[in-house]
Structure 1
């Protein structure tokens, strides 16, 4: 599991452990987050500098609370050597790899294309698209050795519709969907399934505590705002996406590959949001 220390990733780690899985998850440590942010210049605002050692998004602390079924490895998914260490840990400690969840992601509100720095575009593509590509590349031989397995990639509804201010983010997530389809074809003969989830707006730190902004927002207010963003009148929670990932990772979806599931409360099938009543937005 990549990007497992917050939001959808953290909810998925917890869900898998609760189901009895052994989980190796990676993310930037709080110290790495600050270091990467400082080194990247304009693109550094994509990475958290407010996360503290011992806090709720510190992978070491998370693993300690979950017990022996989970191991945290600090890693940058854009660095192949760093990511190789994550996979090596899984094989050395737990004997092999059966499931990969490519979840690490950044961005989502970089602003208009014409005013977005090239460095921010490059980093967004590196984390959101190169990261899953590297994950698949490293996972395939390990899954093949186990007789097959499942890969689940986290994409976004931004891959499906044109959202202003998300040129880099939307393009990277659209790339994830095509990567999913290609990998599914390449892995099929070895019983390696590759699928994706496309969340809508989810009540996670990437929204209410986005590093793009100098300070975060009240999660309760964001929850209220997200409740009116799609036909189902409540905010999507990380656990909603984790449940979809769990199904795609499990044998219950053993004949499903190359697909994407929209976990968006109906957002992408709605003809015109103006048809919804005002009361929907106030629930």
Structure 2
């Protein structure tokens, strides 16, 4: 039996590179999938591709009413919500803190942090009604240390870590597990195309060759960890951080010249 045959999964940012990978994988494992995104055209197309067990809902993660409507549509369509993946996120154009305008700061935190907060807040009662489930928040390795020129993004992802651990403590007795995944540099448009207002993509400044796994990550690398954390196989894991970065945070690998 597929791991998610009786489950309903809501993925935010569900039309993006990682989001679409997550949606397709859950669907392939038997889940009902709800694609939450602001891009109605791409969302409807993905839902149409997947068929009857897929639903697109327009979801602005920074808007509490939008969240309420998305969760209500999920329960109306499939009866229950059992997994929430807070995947939606945006990057700021690189700038020194002193050159970062307040509007940019607010936008990044609204989507990356407040969006995750609202997702937990809105989905928790639905997960409780379903008898429990899992929330997985997609953070970043940039939320584990400082990164020059990316203060809003770094701050938002650091905060998601604390939010996740707090939610895990509050929801554990309701049989709701809450965990984070910290992707490294993953080959999606998020990395390979410039952020709005930027001249060059992050990929232009990153060379994976020195690291233990000398390649960019792929969306499937993140999805594999996500499927585990959302499944019953991770029933004893909550409040945990899962780094999926090919060894980026370890630093340069030792090359074995004799090999």
TM-score (normalised: structure 1): 0.81
Higher helix content, 1 or 2? 1
What residue is the counterpart of 1:254 in the other structure?
235
Matches of 1:235 and 1:88, distance apart in 2: 38
Task: Give yes or no for contact 2:164–2:178 (8 Å, CA) kept in 1.
Answer: yes
- Given candidates 25, 38, 44, the residue that maps to 1:28 is 38
Task: Give yes or no for contact 1:106–1:128 (8 Å, CA) kept in 2.
Answer: yes
- Given candidates 208, 222, 225, the residue that maps to 1:241 is 222
TM-superposed CA distance for 1:16, in Å, is 0.3
For the aligned residue pairs, the C-alpha RMSD in angstroms reads 2.2
| Structure 1 residues 212-251: aligned runs within 5 Å | 212=196, 222=203, 226-228=207-209, 230-251=211-232
Distance 1:210 1:94, change over 3 A: farther
What residue is the counterpart of 2:176 in the other structure?
192
Distance 1:86 1:147, change over 3 A: same
Matches of 2:82 and 2:16, distance apart in 1: 22
Gaps of 5+ in 2: 1-10
Gaps of 5+ in 1: 31-52
How far does the alpha carbon of each residue in 1:151-174 deviate from its partner, in whole angstroms, 9 at most, with x for none? 000000011011111111010001
What residue is the counterpart of 2:23 in the other structure?
13
What residue is the counterpart of 2:55 in the other structure?
71
How far does the alpha carbon of each residue in 1:109-133 deviate from its partner, in whole angstroms, 9 at most, with x for none? 4321111111000000000000010
What residue is the counterpart of 1:176 in the other structure?
160
What residue is the counterpart of 1:3 in the other structure?
13
| Structure 1 residues 141-156: aligned runs within 5 Å | 141-156=125-140
Q: How many residues align?
A: 246
- Given candidates 250, 255, 264, the residue that maps to 2:245 is 264
Task: Give yes or no for contact 2:80–2:130 (8 Å, CA) kept in 1.
Answer: yes
After the TM superposition, which parts of structure 1 deviate over 6 Å for at least 4 consecutive aligned residues? 214-217
* SS of aligned partner of 2:81: coil
